[in-house]
Structure formats: C-alpha cells, structure tokens
Amino acid sequence: MTAQNILMKIGNGTMRFLLRSPIHKLVSGNTMLVTIKGRKSGKAYTTPVNYVQDQNVIYVTSQKERTWWRNLRGGAEADLQLRGQNIRVTGEVVEDEPGVVTQLAAYLTKVPQYARFYGVSLNEEGKVNLEDIAKSAKNRVCILFKIPG
C-alpha cells in the first residue's frame, strides 16, 4: 500500500466519522457519504465525495481510475447521507467524453472556486475555460444523483 493510499484511507475514515456525527455541519455543506451495493458481491461500500446540488440533482465527479462509481453504470440506487439526512436516490454515470465535458462545465459553473482543482482556468468574467474542461474530462466521470419528489 502506498503512502498516498494510506493517507486516503485515513482521510476517508475521518470524513465518514465527521459526516455521521452531530458536528457534520462542519463539512456537510459540500461533502456527503454515498453508499452503493456491489453488483456482484452485494456488499455495501460507503465513500465520502464532494458534491454540488441543483434542486433535485446532485452532481459529483470522480477520477476514472477510482472504482466506487462503477456500480452505478446503467443507473442504480444509492443511499446518500446529505447534510445529516439519509436519502435514497438513483445514480447515473456519465462516462462519454462529450457528456463529461457538459456535466463538468455545469458543475464548475456552479462552484467556480473548485476549477483550480480540475486544472481549469477562469476568464476575466469568472467563467470556466471550455478547453481546460475538455482536457480535464479525459480523466473524469460525472455522477448524477436524482432525489425523488
């Protein structure tokens, strides 16, 4: 196990603890827990992720090399712990590059302060650079969680 993997396990464990605790408000404004069942194993996997919410859709991005999101391919149910509330949702993965560009642009338009973490620059008006988004999209997937109702 690499040092990076060890740090990630510690960080994820800490975030899971915080998000499940009474002091979740410290981090739950932009971080939530996603619980997904493995398609083959049936085992529940829980991971903390950053998110942006737009009404009844929650946007999440992940690096392609990560594996947690793969169980959502083709659409699947997931449980979110969102701002202290447990919510059953349907998740959908966007993997095709044009779709990722579109969704990543929507995500970063809502939170332009995250652009630098994606290697995306902003123009003088604070709008995201689409060429940078296209480069970043090559290594990413977008996940959309739809809240019922």
Q: Is residue 5 scored above 70 in pLDDT? A: no
Distance, in Å, from the CA atom of 138 to the CA atom of 63, rounded to the nearest integer, reads 9
Residue 83 near residue 28 (C-beta atoms within 8 A):
yes
Distance, in Å, from the CA atom of 140 to the CA atom of 149, rounded to the nearest integer, reads 29
Higher pLDDT, 14 or 120: 120
Mean pLDDT of 48-65: 94
Q: What CATH number corresponds to the domain at position 29?
A: 2.30.110.10
Q: Is residue 4 scored above 70 in pLDDT? A: no
Tokens matching residue 123: 């123009």
Task: Write down the mean pLDDT value for the chain.
Answer: 90
Work out the pLDDT band at 1, boundaries 50, 70, 90: low
Mean pLDDT of 111-124: 92
Beta bridge partners of 62: 141
User: What H or E segment, with its residue span, contains residue 109?
Assistant: helix 97-110
Q: Percentage of the chain with pLDDT > 70? A: 95
Work out the pLDDT band at 40, boundaries 50, 70, 90: confident
- Where in the sequence is the domain holding 128, given as residue range(s)? 3-146
User: What pLDDT was estimated at residue 19?
Assistant: 81
What's the total number of domains in the chain? 1
Higher pLDDT, 17 or 106: 106
